[in-house]
Amino acid sequence: MSTPDPSRIDIDSQPGHAIRRLHQISVGIFLQEVGETGVTPVQYAALQTVANQPGIDQRTLARAIALDASTTGGVVDRLETRGWLLRRTSPSDRRARELELTLSGQQALREVVPAMLRAQEQILAPLSEDERREFMRMLARLVTENNALSRAPSEAAVR
């Protein structure tokens, strides 16, 4: 099989390019909706995951939201600085840091959720209800089946 002529490749027909563009659009819509709160999509994922699993340790959080440990540490640092997360040493493993939302963090999450939901709705707005279900089904399959190829595989994607 010969290598195609690079000048004949249409970048807009490449799935990786389309996914990158959709990610850019998704982040833009999210940031527009959350406005002044300054919460990023990754910070939202961390807050929501900690809210769903109070006491989760930082390493497990990293795997749950598919980030490397150092990036997760930075996210946690910023959320802790804002007074939204409390990080404490695990009583069962002194190396582990358990995370919990503060009252301020719970309030911030309650304020961000409606904006996050509006963003999700806007992202999917061009699709019918049936198309949305099919898109999400196919997207979940691509994420799950390619999870091991990620730089930071998610435990959640292995479901």
The model's pLDDT over 38-57, given as tens digits with 9 standing for 90+, comes to 999 999 999 999 999 999 99
Residue 138 forms part of a structural domain: no
Q: Is residue 152 part of a domain?
A: no
pLDDT means per 10 residues, the chain with 159 residues, are 83 92 96 92 97 94 92 95 92 86 97 96 97 96 92 68
Would residue 7 count as lying in a domain? no
DSSP SS3 for 88: strand
Does this model's pTM top 0.85? My answer is yes
Q: Which CATH number belongs to the domain containing residue 28 in this structure? A: 1.10.10.10
* 65 belongs to a structural domain: yes
> Is residue 114 situated within a structural domain?
yes
In terms of residue numbers, what domain contains 102?
A: 12-125
Phi, psi of 41 (to 5 degrees): -55, -40
Residue 98's DSSP bridge partners are: 57, 88
pLDDT score of 159: 44
Burial class (CB in 10 A: 0-12, 13-18, 19+), 89: exposed
Is residue 112 in some structural domain?
Answer: yes
**How many structural domains is the chain composed of?**
1
Per the domain annotation, does 137 fall within a domain? Answer: no
Going by their DSSP bridges, the two strands 85-89 and 97-101 should be labelled as antiparallel
Residues comprising the chain, all counted:
159
Q: Which residues pair with 57 in a beta bridge?
A: 98
pLDDT, residue 132, reads: 97
- In a domain? residue 39: yes
Q: What is the mean pLDDT of the chain?
A: 92
User: How is residue 14 written in tokens?
Assistant: 């490449």
